[in-house]
Structure 1
Amino acid sequence: MNIGRRHFGKGIAAVGGFGLPALVSGAAEAQRNADTLRVVFRDSVPNIDAYYNNQRTGLILAHQAWDGLVHRDPETFNIVPALATEWTQVDSTTIDFTLRRGVKFHDGSDFSADDVVYTLNTVSKPEARVATPSNYSWIDNVEKTGDFGVRLRMKRPTPAALEYLALVGPIWPKAYRERVGLEGYARAPIGTGPYRITRVDSASIVEYERFDGYYEGGPKGRPAIRKITARFVTDAATELTELLAQRVDWIWNMNPDQIPNVSRLPTLQTLRQESMRVGYLMLDAVGRSGADNPMTKLKVRQAVSHAINRESMAERLVGGGSRVPPAPCFPSQFGCDGDAAVRYDYNPARARELLAEAGYPNGFDIELTSYVQPRQWSEAVQSYLQAVGIRARLNMLQVSALIQRAWRGELAMSMGSWGSYSINDVSAFLPNWFGEGSLDDYSRDPEVHRLLAEGGASSDADTRKRAYSAAIRRITEQAYFLPLHTYVNTYAFSRQLEFKAFPDELPRFYLAKWK
């Protein structure tokens, strides 16, 4: 699911055997002359406002058009100024920000402290019903200390506060947002970023134009490319066909099997980069989908964990340096203690023994719901489960449809991925799946809730590590959640495009340029 969530499309037949329009080298040149970068995604977003979707595509689209108080440098991960030029940690729960003067929103209105106070106080309240409340629940209140000064108070020490503000804290224009409301803002949003959005159709297209009023000293700089057109298509075959026919300049996460074929073409190039995204299998331990769900039994969940050859999936299906995280988080995140995790090796014989001990000597039938593409990744999990007697009916859904079913508590076993909004702290991973009140929590374990609250209530590194390590130990002992592999992004784009990928899985089109 970040924006966290993302799906990958299945591949098509080898390029050489696929009927495609003739490749015309002049087409790409004409597009470069038009100075419009054409990109395609496979998952449309229900709301372009980043606060109201938790899909990775939504985060990417918003990142081009909005800025937050601070910015995270993609090379160093250092926090640098954006809408705030300076900040001071007053105490463990208070930060004072000095705001940048002379910033304009895309409609020409002036940015000030009122916009910051309005935005952060709105999204941190439960009644805002944002897509990922845990991203903002640490905020107590924000008050104005002057026209260009604000004080942010936290409910508890939050060491990753600046990362959240950098990656998932875009600032709304107060007067405009109040006037048009949530739905009006989604149809015609404005921000302070390097691109302004000129058209939104959440089902098909988002169009951008360079914002020549982007503030001096802005961390994203002035884009080299004047316009961006982002279209949504339904499947990977269409996406790849559009790229090969030169109707698209950039795609990502095509089937890795297609890399050799695409790389041989004189008009295209490919690039791979491991990301902070983790593929997972979520098991309904608490019985939200029904008290008779076999996943409520610990030995069944342990059997599932032993049944899947995750190392093989990472090496042979994902490739590109993918690895199996031992803990339910990305290894580089603060607090992601792999040594604390109980590990489950690939052992189908042990899986069958555990199923028999749990009362299922002949296995059982269950629904496996997934949005993960290529489809063969989901089918591989289905096949491993089948081999030990778990007859999983694979139900492939769009990302948004699976999210809605998950939040309604309908999924006994679900497969997806989580990118933590690219925040390099375990507080962006564990609370989403195991935190008290989370709609994605399928374990509802009071002990895990307590440990996550303890880890999130301290600014002391050792205290946080101890709490998060204990939570990881409990989560893995109980086999609530099985991390399958890290994701490796596969990019394919025009050879006339200069594009750089970063490990935080956030394409920055404002840094791209034509060669």
Structure 2
Amino acid sequence: MKTELALTNINSAQALIAIQQQGTALKNNVIIYQAACKAAIGLLVLIALSQPTFAGKADDTLNVAFTNEIETLDYYMATSREALSVGRILYDGLVSKDFKTGKFVPELAESYKFTSDTLVDFKIRGGVKFHNGDALTADDVVFTLNLVSRPDFGARYAIAVNWIDRAERLDGDTVRLTMKTPYPLALEMLAGNVPIYSKTYYEKVSATGMAVKPIGTGPYKLVEVTPGVSVKLERFADYYKGGQKENPQIGKINFRVLPERNTQYAELLNGNIDWIWRVPKDDIVRLASRPGVQVESSPIMRFDHIGMNPRVPNSPLADVRVRKAINYAINRKEIRDAFKGESSPIINSFCNPIQFGCETNVVTYEYSPKKAKELLKEAGFEKGLNLSMIISAEAAGLAEAVKANLASVGINLTLNKLQYAAAIEQWRSNKQDMTYGDWGSYGVGDAALSVGNYFGGGGDDVVSDPEIVNPIIEASKIMEMDRRKALYSKALKLIADRAYRVPLWVWSMNTAMSKELELHINPDEFIPFYGAKWK
């Protein structure tokens, strides 16, 4: 079941060969074979005809290609990683996160201090200008925080702001933020997710103006936008000193929307594009062999998992032995190697290891069809059983591999390909036994947004195990980090012991770029374009 943006899983004939080795079920997947071969042939033709020239460095312009449209430049109305990544260099927030250290560092706030579990004071940095020349003031900060946290404002990612009660100006350069309740993810949300708008400019142009002609305080300012086609930015000469985005190296950045992947490859190889992302595993290997091209694979926050619902009426999954058998029956390494590659680390706990509170010292289930069959026999299913699983179109190949693994131990799995709305309804109303999905935690490096989302008693928690729910809820309400870590550890150990999920692997983001460029993606699945530079 898909809950956030997903990437393509298969695009080439080479991936098909690996799939065919998984079992008879995959060998018959003619549709995947035809699509894969077509993509591979198209890429080979492009590679044969292309010669790299890479002109971006010559005119100090970073040319980027996106598959998805940059739907709006109003950060609070955007949903795609592409639009949000562009927004993060147009705008600044009060703080940002240093992924090398895991610490939060000042941005528009020169400093901050928690004065209680619900109060935090920010000293606003002086000398900061908006792109139109207006000076940033504490009033802009107060206006933005009070505006975007209103329920009727309609922020697309309400989770980023719905914990804010109010903001007020204490003196000339100090803003006090009051939380509705103690919220341990306050800084996580403020770091990149809550940019500050100009009060004067927003009141003049409203959300409509911000969507197409925004101003911010970020290291780049808008030059031109052609809806659905391109966005052009240039370095902001009056950008302030301090913070992680200080002193951007590249003068101009042009973002182009190129929906066809082969077109992106051709433009990259011809030197018209300097950087692309979300490149399928097999295509990245081919691109790496071309002169002037370099590739990179970086683990990100998103991970794959299989959910099991023990509350489906008369479901065999109510028996923990069946759930454990499923864990033992899935050859995660072989499937991972075929579809994702070795750059995607296998996980054993229901969280991303880089998230705060992700306990990795849990019960693990190595691949063992023998143990799976023994457990099924012990549970009374020696002759086999039938289960259903929700999948998305993008995960069809992976799901077929899982199905083949389960069939080998006597579990007949019916795959139900559903759209998001239908999948949610079926899952939450206990009509499906299993679901295959991925989860990116909104790019937030805290277990509250992984284990907390699926086992904290909310809508996606079909298990509702009180011994798991209670520590997660407690962890969501306290600010003491050591105590929070211990509570998540307890919950994650129980989830593994009771085999409620099959954790699979962390995603890696594949990028291809000019060898003249240095640009690395962050684990939160955002691209720090402000850090790009020519070699």
Aligned to 1:346: 367
Aligned to 1:312: 334
- The C-alpha deviation readout for 1:191-244, integer Å capped at 9, x for no partner, is 221122445567554433322332233530243323323334445444434423
- Residues 365-514 of structure 1 correspond to what in structure 2 (within 5 A)? 366-370=388-392, 372=394, 376-387=397-408, 388-393=410-415, 395=417, 402=420, 404-405=421-422, 408=425, 412=432, 413-437=434-458, 440-445=460-465, 447-514=467-534
In the alignment, is the contact (CA less than 8 A) between 1:367 and 1:394 conserved in 2? Answer: yes
Aligned in 2, Cα 1:2/1:368: closer, same or farther, shift over 3 Å?
closer
Whole-angstrom distance in 2 between the partners of 1:326 and 1:109: 51
In the alignment, is the contact (CA less than 8 A) between 1:284 and 1:442 conserved in 2? Answer: yes
TM-score (norm 2): 0.80
Aligned in 2, Cα 1:459/1:217: closer, same or farther, shift over 3 Å?
closer
Task: Name structure 2 gaps, 5 residues minimum.
Answer: 14-39
Cα distance, 1:118 vs. partner? 3.0
Aligned in 2, Cα 1:128/1:328: closer, same or farther, shift over 3 Å?
farther
Aligned in 2, Cα 1:408/1:39: closer, same or farther, shift over 3 Å?
farther
Cα distance, 1:354 vs. partner? 6.1
In the alignment, is the contact (CA less than 8 A) between 2:299 and 2:523 conserved in 1? Answer: yes
Aligned to 1:23: 50
> Quick one: which amino acid aligns to residue 450 of structure 2?
F
Q: Return the match for 2:354 from 310, 326, 332.
A: 332
Q: Return the match for 2:250 from 221, 225, 243.
A: 225
Aligned in 2, Cα 1:385/1:64: closer, same or farther, shift over 3 Å?
farther
Whole-angstrom distance in 2 between the partners of 1:468 and 1:335: 6
Aligned in 2, Cα 1:466/1:79: closer, same or farther, shift over 3 Å?
closer
Aligned to 2:66: 41
> Quick one: which amino acid aligns to residue 150 of structure 1?
V
The structure whose Rg is larger is 2
Give the 3-state SS of the residue equivalent to 1:473 in structure 2. helix
Aligned to 1:257: 282
- The C-alpha deviation readout for 1:147-188, integer Å capped at 9, x for no partner, is 421112234444443232113222233344445444553344
Cα distance, 1:476 vs. partner? 3.4
In the alignment, is the contact (CA less than 8 A) between 2:303 and 2:504 conserved in 1? Answer: yes
1:213 lines up with 2:238 in the alignment: yes
Cα distance, 1:502 vs. partner? 4.5
Give the 3-state SS of the residue equivalent to 1:464 in structure 2. helix
- The C-alpha deviation readout for 1:108-159, integer Å capped at 9, x for no partner, is 4432223322333344454444444444444333222134211122344444
Aligned in 2, Cα 1:74/1:350: closer, same or farther, shift over 3 Å?
closer
Report which stretch shifted further, 484-493 or 364-373: 364-373
In the alignment, is the contact (CA less than 8 A) between 1:199 and 1:207 conserved in 2? Answer: yes
> Quick one: which amino acid aligns to residue 288 of structure 2?
S
> Quick one: which amino acid aligns to residue 62 of structure 1?
G
Whole-angstrom distance in 2 between the partners of 1:46 and 1:65: 15
In the alignment, is the contact (CA less than 8 A) between 1:171 and 1:191 conserved in 2? Answer: yes
Aligned in 2, Cα 1:332/1:74: closer, same or farther, shift over 3 Å?
closer
Aligned in 2, Cα 1:66/1:380: closer, same or farther, shift over 3 Å?
farther
Whole-angstrom distance in 2 between the partners of 1:406 and 1:490: 28
In the alignment, is the contact (CA less than 8 A) between 2:304 and 2:505 conserved in 1? Answer: yes
Whole-angstrom distance in 2 between the partners of 1:239 and 1:61: 19
Give the 3-state SS of the residue equivalent to 2:240 in structure 1. coil
Give the 3-state SS of the residue equivalent to 2:188 in structure 1. helix
Aligned in 2, Cα 1:358/1:139: closer, same or farther, shift over 3 Å?
farther
Cα distance, 1:64 vs. partner? 2.1
Give the 3-state SS of the residue equivalent to 2:438 in structure 1. strand
Aligned in 2, Cα 1:209/1:418: closer, same or farther, shift over 3 Å?
farther
- Residues 180-199 of structure 1 correspond to what in structure 2 (within 5 A)? 180-182=205-207, 184-199=209-224
Cα distance, 1:485 vs. partner? 0.6
- The C-alpha deviation readout for 1:310-356, integer Å capped at 9, x for no partner, is 233345543344322221111232221122x4433323455566668
Report which stretch shifted further, 197-206 or 457-466: 197-206
> Quick one: which amino acid aligns to residue 428 of structure 1?
L
> Quick one: which amino acid aligns to residue 217 of structure 1?
G
Aligned to 1:83: 108
Give the 3-state SS of the residue equivalent to 2:483 in structure 1. helix
Give the 3-state SS of the residue equivalent to 2:170 in structure 1. strand
Aligned to 2:28: none
Aligned CA-pair RMSD: 3.7
Aligned in 2, Cα 1:200/1:475: closer, same or farther, shift over 3 Å?
farther
Same amino acid, percent of matched pairs: 35
- Residues 115-194 of structure 1 correspond to what in structure 2 (within 5 A)? 115-182=140-207, 184-194=209-219
Whole-angstrom distance in 1 between the partners of 2:113 and 2:292: 50
In the alignment, is the contact (CA less than 8 A) between 1:6 and 1:55 conserved in 2? Answer: no
Cα distance, 1:87 vs. partner? 1.4
> Quick one: which amino acid aligns to residue 509 of structure 1?
F
Task: Name structure 1 gaps, 5 residues minimum.
Answer: none
TM-score (norm 1): 0.82
Aligned in 2, Cα 1:354/1:367: closer, same or farther, shift over 3 Å?
same
> Quick one: which amino acid aligns to residue 330 of structure 1?
N
Whole-angstrom distance in 2 between the partners of 1:490 and 1:6: 13
> Quick one: which amino acid aligns to residue 531 of structure 2?
L
Give the 3-state SS of the residue equivalent to 2:90 in structure 1. coil
Give the 3-state SS of the residue equivalent to 2:253 in structure 1. strand
> Quick one: which amino acid aligns to residue 490 of structure 1?
N
Whole-angstrom distance in 1 between the partners of 2:320 and 2:122: 48
Whole-angstrom distance in 1 between the partners of 2:228 and 2:427: 25
